[in-house]
Structure 1
Amino acid sequence: MSVCRMFGNTRHQVMLLLLSTLGWMIVAVTQSGAVSRCVDQACSPPIGNLASGRTISTLSSCSLLPHLCPEDVHPPAHMTDDPFLHPQTWWASGAGSTATQEQPDEIRLDLETRFCLSHVVLVFRSPRPSAMAIERSADSGKTWEPLQLFARNCSAEFGLPDDSLCTSRYTSATPCSGGEVILRTLDPSSAETRDPYSAATLARLTLTNLRIRLLKSQSCSAPSTPPTGRTSPTASPLTSTSTSENTTYAIFSLLAKGTCLCHGHAEHCVPYNSSQESQQDSNMVFGRCLCTHHTAGDHCEECAPLYNDRPWRPANGSSGEPNPCQKCECHGHSDSCHFSRRAWLSSGGTSGGVCDDCRHNTAGRRCQRCRHGYHRHLSLPLSSAHACTRCRCDQHGSLPPRPDEEGPWCHPRTGQCHCKPGVGGRSCSHCLPGYWGFGDKGCEPCVCPLSCDPNSGQCFDSYLDNQVFNVPIGGKIPDRDYLLPLEDVQWSKELAVSALHYTGKCSCKEKKLRSVSDLCKTKHDYVIKASVLCAHDKGSHAEVQVKVRKVFRSGQVALHPGTISIYPVSWTSRGCTCPILNPGMEYLLAGPEEAGTGRLLVTMQSVVAPWTPRLGLLISEGLRNGCSPSAGLCDGQTPEKCTINSKSMSQQTVQKQD
């Protein structure tokens, strides 16, 4: 073999050398243990020949015509072997006569998954076709799209002008051997190349199959002197460079340069399936990405299971921004989350993750609260596996759960159970002071001036022997930064839930509600129907939580049904609450608001009346007869007139009840 024959086509050899060397340099750098190129920036795997290591199929082969291939067999695999190690190998199609010059042939590369194609290079041993098409499929061969059409006459062959889709370039019969056909999927000067990971660019680059259709062969009229380049030393119908009846397609090499599709989130790829495991040391371009930036999937096309707090995005090839996925805050109670568009929009585009299958008896979008039947364990952080503990509610003293609920219900932060009337304690296990007869219906009120024995109902002369199950005076709530704000934090476990009990030394003369006219005479800022939930001694003042059932009047603060706090003023000066508010009881509450803060106060002039159906009827009648909620009860009426109306309403009520 002469040196001239092996290295004569200098331009082609240099081009292959540069492309191959560049690919190996990239692989060597990325596998040398250096810092990953994906750290805080977009990255991509090195480019290689997608045809290497894969099967190339054709419609015909010279091996099917042994009388035309006397010395060698020229299978399709010879198009993808190393041109430096095997310079005298090529693929040859079946030969034909002049009458069959328009008989098409086809070269097809089927990939196992999606890849990105950068360019295609064909080096012909025969004259280049006068018409051919390079096509791609992105759906495993179901549909095809032309990447480039080649024809000496685009209008005659394809009915198209000679423009970007169809070109007459690379269609000349000369050189008779060594002629190239080059396709670049993107114009280097176009805007699409600025960001190779954009949706528009990937729509142009992505493929699962490559098809090269050789539509019309042509003869070469050059002299019979063999051209420089890769040629066979023995003449044959396949090596003839002059016009002959035996015209065929022969191709030295096929390069389909590309890389695995990773959207800018990986710098290495591994075999897509187990059948490729043995080829890890070859030049094969593998199809499954080793994802970074907290992404996942064969092509890094989604976020990792616990990193869906914002939408997945490809990296930005123009700015280099990696656009990594963001971790969901599940407090260690979930291994995955999903993205919610509604949560994303409601957060103003800052967080959209919803934790999946919260463990350790937690619930909520971020596993931040305890599920039904459990409450927070105050001494443990929210991330603890034991942060939620089961509600311990007495089945006799607590209200039963709703039909759609399982197990006892307690406050998710405090653990306070919902007690029946007259029942108190954290677990609703005993009668409140002033009640007796603990049972399935709760406790009955004592019929005594002061209090009575909780078991027998026998009246006591004083409170000396009465066990007090109330909020202890003093104590301090420890700071817990990992919980909710201090005003909303749950109270200490030893704080019982009952009214702040007044002692025997406390003189408490409560204001009596004799008629609806009392509400008309006194300009109360608020009038509500509410049930008392619990109370808390905060040292300088007391705070009582109530659940508003109905709003008759609101002041500067708009009131709505739900849980709110009221503040007994008497606690500061007397050390007790006057009037008395017993948890589990419903009251008609009327009183002033604190100037500036709008807090609802309970003073000695406030109305605290146990709620009864008859009282509710009187209030409703009063509202319908002139005590407008917008103007205030009895606004615009004289006290005498309001009192008369109240008396008449009382008489009407008695008559209705009779």
Structure 2
Amino acid sequence: MARVQTLSNCLALLLVVGIRLAEAGGEGYMKMFAAQQNPVDPCFDEDRPRRCIPDFVNAAFGTAVEASSTCGSGGPTRYCDVSDVPGGSPGPCHVCDDSTPRRRFPASYLTDLNNPNNITCWRSEPLVSSQSFSAPPDNVTLTLSLGKKYELTYVSLQFCPRAAKPDSIAIYKSMDYGKTWQAFQFYSSQCRRVYGRPNRATITKANEQEARCTDSHRYTGGDGLAPVGRIAFSTLEGRPSASDFDNSPVLQDWVTATDIKVVFNRLHLPHGQEEFAPQEEIQTAEETGVVKELRKDLQERAKAKGHSKAQFAKADGLESAGPTVLPSVQVIGPQEMQSNDALDIDVRDMSLVTTTVITTTSTTLAHHYAVSDFTVGGRCKCNGHAARCVPDKEGELLCDCRHNTAGRDCERCRPFHFDRPWARATAKEANECKACNCNLHARKCRFNMELYKLSGRVSGGVCLQCRHFTAGRHCHYCREGYYRDPARPITHRKACKPCDCHPIGASGKTCNQSTGQCPCKDGVTGITCNRCARGYQQSRSHIAPCIIFSEIPKVVQTQGMAGEDSGEHEETEHEYGYDGRADQCGKCRAGTRRLNLNKYCKRDFAIMGKVTDRHVENGAGGSGSAEWVRFTIQVQSVYKRARESRLRRGPMALYVHAADLACKCPKVKANKSYLILGRENDGGRQGALTATQRSIVIEWRDEWHRRMRRFQRRARSCH
């Protein structure tokens, strides 16, 4: 019992210590978990962009290969192994048949998982060719489509054991998905004779994109007799600029490929068999393994058909032919010699077949090509702007572009990021694409190299289709006819305001883009050139709307409601309407908007209301044929009225003479509220509320309500 208690105490103590350690190191734990939740972005060092590249892969793995010839694709076909021993006899023969799984040798075996303990081979159809180099080549082609641009490091081929090795191999690459091809590398024991190139030529900076030819594939070192089982072409080996690859566009282009094509041109003859064997080394046909096996198969077939051995010998032509000789070379049955199950040869045809085998092999070789592994090592080409390649909706590979780049290979800048030219990322500079500076007024831009150079290679973007009435390379100023609103930043969508220059008072429609000042004619002033300057009066001419006059009359201010002065102020500027009626309208008698107690006392009524409707009436009222405009006004406040007045709150009719309205004296518009002071029987319309040139009509402001109540209290002082 005591032991149990002691163990319990120890566990409790460990738990307490663990909790305290977690509390003490809580910040460290949080950082660790944060790092796990937010993995490091390989394309950025914190917020600074840096070069990133996809992982190195075998680009050929699992990719389909197109072979121009595959053993057994046309039916069962016999092929034989070869011996690597000089002067050795051919090895055992086999049958390939694409319809039987264990006898299939498809091109898909070239790019499957390469297991040394379970080698899978692609084999071509057996070919019969001459040993002479002057004979046409035995071309068999393997074409590999990578599906995207890769930057390749090597191309490797592993040949199958007990199979003839090609003597001449050509490797080609394509950068446009198989449309055009460029020589990549050549292998041959006779480089100049087969490919017209010197053996192991030196590459200089002047020809770094030139394919070389070498005979290094034929033999390993040491005794120089054993043929190599693999060729591996290194794309940058022997290229002078390989050490400065980031700054070599030539080599960057050289290692780029979308497709690889391998062409086997000639058989590699075993050592000692490049020429025909001498006469004393000739063997008889009966001692040749392939012929023996063929004869045995034909005899069994003849027996199955009921033919006697004598009939077979006579038909075979061997009864009187004597021993037939063959050179000591690799001999296998031609493609016509298929498996017993696939052929049904009559005994009468055996002499023809046997003779063909014997006479043909005296001058030719039958062989096939066999490769177990086709490897292409490299990286998905993303120009340093992506760390991985991902499939799109159609399953095609493309780079997961960063650094504001776009394209299948991150080969261009994304839209609106053309402030500097696109460039490949290097170890020193990420060359991130930079957004154009258009102050939020444009969605498109283009790059200009001349501007980029003039800026010291800092900025070359030119904004296109500037909006919000802006203009300029960066949409940084207002276009003609607009000026900058100083109260708003240039990035604001309403940073530019229209000039609104007066059509008569201004000499043009373009104002100062900074201040908004319009160009005024002589004697005219104001931001929009809408009034005469000091010492000028309005004329009847549109050419010279303001002229000098000798005596300055006393006029009233027209720019808003002021204090409660009892007198009228002298003013040297006045507003006018350039509408062609200057000679008819004259000046408003009570066109002031400065109200005081004296003017309040001289009017019969003072009301505030909102104009809601307008109608034109012809030939009505006491003036006979005069034209009147009737407004419907909703009276909201009555500040003054006569004792017997009919003024009341609510809807009422307000009449204004059309001629006065045309001269804007008074100025009345629908859907606006006004303060109106006038005489009830003024204007010739008995019993109606009228507004004339002597009335005071001012657009209403809410702060005036208190002032009007003060006038009401002081109205007893009116005379």
- TM-score interval for Structure 1 and Structure 2 normalised by the shorter chain: 0.5 to 0.7
Question: For the residues of structure 2 that align with 1:85 and 1:154, how far apart are their CA atoms?
Answer: 32
1:469 and 1:134 map into 2 onto residues whose CA distance is 92
Q: What is the CA–CA distance in structure 2 between the aligned matches of 1:85 and 1:380, rounded to whole Å? A: 75
Report the alpha carbon displacement of residue 205 of structure 1 after superposing the two structures with TM: 1.0
User: 1:137 aligns to what?
Assistant: 174
2:393 aligns with 274
Which string of whole-angstrom CA distances, capped at 9 and with x for unpartnered residues, describes residues 13-52 of structure 1? Answer: xxxxxxxxxxxxxxxx999933324433222111222223
CA contact (8 A) 1:38 1:266 kept: no
Name the structure 1 match of 2:142. Answer: 107
The structure-2 alpha-carbon separation of the partners of 1:339 and 1:31, relative to structure 1 and needing over 3 Å to count, comes to farther
Q: Deviations over 1:407-464 (max 9, x none)?
A: x422222122222332221112112222222664342321326689799xxxxxxx97
In the alignment, the residues of structure 1 paired with residue 527 and residue 117 of structure 2 have an alpha-carbon distance, to the nearest angstrom, of 87
Cα shift at 1:172: 4.1
Alpha-carbon offset, residue 292 of structure 1: 1.9
SS for the counterpart of 1:191 is: helix
Distance of 1:36 and 1:329 partners within structure 2 = 28
Indicate whether 1:75 and 2:177 are aligned: no
Say if 2:241 and 2:251, in contact at 8 Å, map to a contact too: no
1:155 maps to 2:256: no
Amino acid at match of 1:214: F
SS at match of 1:62: coil
* Equivalent residues of 1:435, 1:451 under 8 A apart: no
Further displaced range: 124-133 or 436-445 = 436-445
2:164 to 127, 131, 134: 127
User: Aligned pair 1:265/2:385, yes or no?
Assistant: yes
Q: State the SS of the aligned residue for 2:165.
A: coil
- SS of match in other structure, 2:66: strand
Secondary structure at the residue paired with 1:195?
Answer: helix
- Shift in CA distance, 421/113, structure 1 to aligned 2, threshold 3 Å: farther
Q: Distance in 2 between matches of 1:97 and 1:142?
A: 31
Partner SS for 1:359? coil
**d(CA) in 1 for partners of 2:522, 2:72:** 97
Superposed, 1:19-34 pairs within 5 Å as 33-34=39-40
CA root-mean-square deviation: 3.6
Counterpart in the other structure of 1:88? 119
Cα distance in 2, alignment partners of residues 91 and 442 from structure 1: 99
The alignment partner of 2:192 has SS state of helix
1:152/1:190 Cα in 2 relative to 1: closer, same or farther (>3 Å)?
Answer: same
Structure-2 residue corresponding to 1:341: 449
Letter in 2 for 1:43: C
1:448 equivalenced with 2:560 (yes/no) = no
Task: Show structure 1 runs of 5+ residues with no match.
Answer: 1-28, 224-234, 278-285, 401-407, 456-462, 471-658
Shift of 1:53: 4.2
TM-score by length of 2: 0.51
- 2:252 is paired with a residue of what secondary structure? helix
Q: Which residue of structure 2 aligns with residue 459 of structure 1?
A: none
**Aligned AA (1:137):** S
Matched residues, percent identical?
Answer: 29
Larger mean Cα displacement after TM superposition, 103-112 or 65-74: 65-74
In the alignment, what sits opposite 1:312? Answer: 422
Q: 1:142 to 1:31 in 2, by over 3 A?
A: farther
1:365 offset after TM fit, Å? 0.5
Structure 1 position 45 matched with structure 2 position 54? yes
Alpha-carbon separation, structure 1, partners of 2:103 and 2:544: 102
Q: Structure 1 residues 175 and 440, CA, compared in 2 at 3 Å: closer, same or farther?
A: farther
Cα 1:177/1:208, change in 2 over 3 Å: same
1:86 is displaced (CA, Å) by 9.2
Distance 1:293 1:244, change over 3 A: same
Tell me, yes or no, if the aligned pair for 2:555 and 2:574 is still in contact at 8 Å: no
2:528 aligns with one of 427, 438, 446 = 427
> Structure 1's 252 and 30: CA in aligned 2 closer, same or farther, altered over 3 A?
farther
1:131-183 C-alpha deviation (Å, 9 max, x unpaired): 01111122333432211110012122223221141100113499989810101
* Alignment CA distance shift 1:376-1:316 (3 Å): same
Corresponding residue number in structure 1 for 2:245: 195
Distance of 1:250 and 1:61 partners within structure 2: 10
Equivalent residue in structure 2 for 1:166, among 213, 216, 219 = 213
Give secondary structure in 1 for the equivalent of 2:51: coil
Tell me if the contact between 2:476 and 2:490 (Cα under 8 Å) persists in the aligned partners. yes
Distance 1:134 1:337 in 2: 44
Partner of 1:519: none
Whether the aligned pair in 1 keeps the contact of 2:137 and 2:265 (CA below 8 Å) is yes
Instruction: Judge conservation of contact 1:338–1:354 (CA < 8 Å) in 2.
Output: yes
Structure 2 CA distance for aligned equivalents of residues 368 and 93 of structure 1 = 70
The one of 194, 200, 214 equivalent to 2:264 is 214
Query: Could you say if the C-alpha distance between residues 362 and 175 of structure 1 is closer, same or farther in structure 2, counting changes exceeding 3 Å?
Result: farther
Counterpart for residue 407 of structure 2: 297
Whole-angstrom distance in 2 between the partners of 1:89 and 1:373: 79
CA distance in 2, matches of 1:349, 1:128: 56
Separation in 2 of the partners of 1:413 and 1:236? Answer: 101
Q: Separation in 2 of the partners of 1:194 and 1:442?
A: 77
Could you tell me which runs of 5 or more consecutive residues in structure 2 were left unpaired when the two chains were aligned: 1-34, 78-95, 202-211, 274-288, 292-328, 333-365, 558-567, 576-719
What amino acid does structure 1 have at the position aligned with 2:451? Answer: A
Q: 1:248 aligns with which of 357, 362, 368?
A: 368
CA distance in 1, matches of 2:549, 2:110: 105
| Letter matched to residue 395 of structure 2 | Q
- Does the C-alpha gap of structure 1 residues 32 and 256 become closer, same or farther in structure 2, counting only changes over 3 Å? farther
Q: Distance in 1 between matches of 2:574 and 2:169?
A: 95
SS at match of 1:170: coil
Partner of 2:510 in structure 1? 409
- The CA distance in 2 between the partners of 1:444 and 1:434, in whole Å, is 9
Amino acid corresponding to residue 114 of structure 1 in structure 2 = K
Could you tell me how far apart the structure 1 residues matched to 2:405 and 2:231 are?
38
Output one character per residue of 1:540-559: Cα deviation in whole Å (capped at 9) or x when no partner. xxxxxxxxxxxxxxxxxxxx
1:372-430 CA deviation, whole Å, 9 max, x = no partner? 22221211111112212222222332234xxxxxxx42222212222233222111211
Deviations 1:76-103 (A, max 9, x none): 1211111139933221111112449932
Q: What one-letter code is carried by the residue in structure 2 that aligns with 1:62? A: C
Contact 2:385 2:402 in 1 (8 A): yes
Quick one: structure 1 residues 335 and 399, their matched pair in 2 at CA, closer, same or farther if it must change by over 3 Å?
same
Q: Mapping of 1:248-647 within 5 angstroms?
A: 248-271=368-391, 273-276=392-395, 286=397, 288-317=398-427, 320-400=428-508, 408-437=509-538, 440-448=542-550, 465-468=570-573
* Helix, strand or coil at the partner of 2:109: helix
Q: Equivalences for 1:221-236 in 2 at 5 Å?
A: none
Distance 1:236 1:309, change over 3 A: farther
> 2 CA distance for matches of 1:392 and 1:338?
33
Q: How far does the alpha carbon of each residue in 1:211-237 deviate from its partner, in whole angstroms, 9 at most, with x for none?
A: 1111102344699xxxxxxxxxxx999
- Which amino acid is the alignment partner of residue 524 of structure 2? V
Match of 2:128 among 97, 120, 140: 97
Structure 1 letter corresponding to 2:216: R
* Corresponding letter in the other structure for 1:216: R
Distance 1:452 1:421, change over 3 A: farther
